[in-house]
Amino acid sequence: MSKTYRLGFFLNKNVLALQGLELVIEPGQIFGLLGPNGAGKSTTIKILMNLVRPSSGTVRIFGTEAAKREARSQVGFLPENPMPYEYLSGEEFVRLAGKLLGLSGQALDTRVKEVIGAVEMSNAAKLQVRRYSKGMVQRIALAQALINKPRLLILDEPTSGLDPLGRRLMRDIILEQRSQGTTVLFCTHIISDAETLCDRLAVLVAGKKVQEGKVSELLSSQVPVLEVAVEGLSKEQLSSVGVNHELKQEISERLWVRVTDQDLQAFIGATQRLQGRVTRIQPIRFTLEDLFMNALQQAETKVGGTFS
Ligand SMILES: Nc1ncnc2c1ncn2[C@@H]1O[C@H](COP(=O)(O)OP(=O)(O)OP(=O)(O)O)[C@@H](O)[C@H]1O
Ligand SMILES: [Mg+2]
């Protein structure tokens, strides 16, 4: 699907927020959407929630068009900047969300207690939302998203505003939801959250999908690289070795250089011919961060959107 926002007095300026994005999220998975600011993550989620219409393409939730009400009755949603009614208490807000989704009576009472307990907000449940801290609002908004035992949980930056304990709790809740069979889609720019939580991940840059796969596959698809310490060579001499390499750091007399597995022998030979010594070799474990940075560099993007 694609999404173009129209801006300007004559609606003559276009922001290409999403460009030909295709995503399939298997039931029962935790699917992460990773991307920098302005990549189109929230736009994707808003299209799923029917808050924004795609300019082209269609979106289905468990086979039903996302624009239909039935589709969304199975979804729990935590928006990017949750804004619960300020004068309600946290508990009243969660109760209202439950009522709007058709719960009532004893079932509603029990479920409200359960979800408030799950986000560890029982002590503050009677307090008005306007007295909450940012993290407390985030927690109560999550309780609201869980109230109808959704089959699909959609979370826009779920850990934003949370302290380390809150982040741990959010991760535990997401994992717990998966173990109950819930499908989870969340977006983030926090790489460690994506790395620890996702079964599958798509990297979005400037409205386009640049990578997709299982986290382990994405990481193992990287070319093996070694970090090599070279001594006895100047930077100028190093640049003349004639073997592909990348200078990463210079620490006193030692130059730290990255070379691929394939080029290692040739690199060692070349440095020795120049009277240099290779004093240490260590493999690099690629992290999602490297992958993310590479994807960003390749896309050569600017924050602020792609215009046409
Ligand atoms: N209502 C709107 N009107 C015009 N442009 C918009 C609107 N909403 C989003 N955009 C633009 O669409 C692009 C994608 O925005 P989006 O909010 O989807 O990004 P995001 O990936 O969620 O970023 P962040 O990490 O900052 O939340 C941006 O260039 C943004 O300026
Ligand atoms: Mg966003």
Residue 241 falls inside a structural domain? yes
Residue among 4, 15, 189 to mutate when testing ligand 1 (max atoms within 8 A of CB): 15
206 and 264 in a single domain? The answer is no
Q: What is the CATH number of the domain that holds 260?
A: 3.30.70.100
Single-letter amino acid, residue 129 = V
59 and 88 in a single domain? The answer is yes
pLDDT at 308: 52
Among positive and negative, which fits the CA dihedral 7, 10, 14, 17?
Answer: positive
| Per-residue CA distances from 286 to 17, 243, 269, 291 (Å) | 30, 22, 26, 7
pLDDT at 305: 53
For the chain, the C-alpha Rg in angstroms (whole number) is 24
pLDDT at 67: 86
116 and 47 in a single domain? The answer is yes
Check pocket membership of 39 for ligand 1, CB cut-off 6 A. Answer: yes
Residue 300 falls inside a structural domain? no
215 and 246 in a single domain? The answer is no
74 and 198 in a single domain? The answer is yes
Ligand 1 atom nearest the C-alpha of 306 is: 29
Residue 133 falls inside a structural domain? yes
241 and 139 in a single domain? The answer is no
Render 174-217 in DSSP notation, one character per residue.
Answer: HHHHHHTT-EEEEEES-HHHHHHH-SEEEEEETTEEEEEEEHHH
Bridge partners (DSSP) of residue 90 are none
74 and 186 in a single domain? The answer is yes
pLDDT at 11: 66
How many domains is the chain partitioned into structurally? 2
Residue 139 falls inside a structural domain? yes
Residue among 5, 203, 307 to mutate when testing ligand 1 (max atoms within 8 A of CB): 5
Low-confidence residues of the chain: pLDDT under 70: 9-11, 300-308
Helix (H, G, I), strand (E, B) or coil at 281: strand
Of all ligands present, the nearest one to the C-alpha of 21 is 1
60 and 199 in a single domain? The answer is yes
Residue 308 falls inside a structural domain? no
229 and 205 in a single domain? The answer is no
Residue 20 falls inside a structural domain? yes
**What is this structure's pTM?**
0.81
Residue 295 falls inside a structural domain? no
268 and 181 in a single domain? The answer is no
Neighbours of ion ligand 2 (CB under 5 A): 41-42, 80
89 and 178 in a single domain? The answer is yes
Q: Of 220, 241, 273, which closes a domain?
A: 220
pLDDT at 94: 96
pLDDT at 306: 54
pLDDT at 84: 81
Tokens of 107: 């079932």
| Per-residue CA distances from 60 to 25, 63, 221, 269 (Å) | 10, 5, 30, 57
153 and 92 in a single domain? The answer is yes
Residue 91 falls inside a structural domain? yes
Beta-sheet strands, E only, within the chain: 3-7, 13-18, 30-34, 60-61, 64-65, 75-78, 152-156, 183-188, 200-205, 208-214, 225-231, 246-251, 254-260, 277-283
Residue minimizing CA distance to atom 8 of ligand 1: 43
What is the span of the domain harbouring residue 147?
Answer: 3-220
Q: What is the CATH number of the domain that holds 161?
A: 3.40.50.300
